[in-house]
Amino acid sequence: MTDASTSHLVLIPSYNTGPKLFETVQAARAHWAPVWVVVDGSTDGTGEELRAMAADDPHLRVLELPVNRGKGAAVLHGLEEAERCGFTHALTMDADGQHPADRIPQFQGVSLANPDALVLGRPVFDAGAPRLRVGGRKISNWWANLETLWGGIGDSLFGFRVYPIKPLRAVMRRNPWMRRFDFDPEAAVRLCWAGLPTINVPAPVRYFKAEEGGVSHFKYVRDNALLTWMHTRLMLGFIGRLPMLAVRRVRSRPIRSFLR
């Protein structure tokens, strides 16, 4: 893609992702412009090579944080700069190659046609997906749907999605959380609370093994404890919002999903 969008960008947070990062960036750039990468305090040298790539590509920009602050903090850093530059929407995708770059135009197109909506990826897993990860996310999804009275979150953890920047920044400015692994599900829930309609679009996801260059920073105990604390505080917020959500649910149109 050579024509750069002035409203929608691709935002990729990265922390010590290794060579997979460059494959991800190249694939994203093949399908969209501009693409921004936020290097979140990486110590694997990827920042230097990315800067060299960006020097030859006017539609690739690299932002670097001096220390690791977490996925949500990296995304927020990118959103702040994107809004300052006049962008209105950001498609976020992981740097490890799991998300399908060839679906970027489809997701951005859905967002362009529905600029007020939160466009959520609904993962389609292949046979290589870890059962523990696939099964565990069902728990988080159930809680996220309860916290929104089934307001349309097809998958709370899948980070391949298009955010309207202004409402997401507003939510994050009011909230000291959402800075690490808890970013994706809490962002979806709080944006639903804020009244954003949701559109769920299926997208394949691939898990790479270590010998294939796959990198994962997921820690089962640490990150599940983080999710548990997140859903605890969201449930406390849900109780106070229950009357409003109930009225909205009765009045709402059917949840929209794209099946292809």
pLDDT at 252: 76
Q: Is residue 256 situated within a structural domain?
A: no
Predicted confidence (pLDDT) at residue 250 exceeds the cutoff of 90: no
Question: How many folded domains does the chain comprise?
Answer: 1
Distance from C-alpha of 93 to C-alpha of 37, rounded to nearest angstrom: 10
Q: Is residue 161 situated within a structural domain?
A: yes
Residue 26 is part of which domain span?
8-251
Give the pLDDT confidence of 168-226 residue by residue, as tens digits. Answer: 999 999 999 899 888 999 999 999 999 999 999 999 998 766 656 556 656 656 677 88
Q: Is residue 65 situated within a structural domain?
A: yes
For the chain, helix (H) and strand (E) counts, in that order, are 8, 8
Q: Is residue 147 situated within a structural domain?
A: yes
Predicted confidence (pLDDT) at residue 147 exceeds the cutoff of 70: yes
Distance from C-alpha of 103 to C-alpha of 201, rounded to nearest angstrom: 10
Q: Is residue 92 situated within a structural domain?
A: yes
Give the pLDDT confidence of 14-44 residue by residue, as tens digits. Answer: 999 999 999 999 999 999 999 999 999 999 9
- In which band, very low, low, confident or very high, does the pLDDT at 255 lie, cut at 50, 70 and 90? very low
- In which band, very low, low, confident or very high, does the pLDDT at 46 lie, cut at 50, 70 and 90? very high
pLDDT at 208: 65
Residue 22 half-sphere exposure toward CB, CA atoms < 13 A: 14
Q: Is residue 179 situated within a structural domain?
A: yes
Q: Is residue 2 situated within a structural domain?
A: no
Q: How is residue 190 written in tokens?
A: 């709080």
Q: What is the CATH number of the domain that holds 187?
A: 3.90.550.10
Average pLDDT over residues 128-148: 84
Q: Is residue 1 situated within a structural domain?
A: no
Distance from C-alpha of 64 to C-alpha of 196, rounded to nearest angstrom: 30
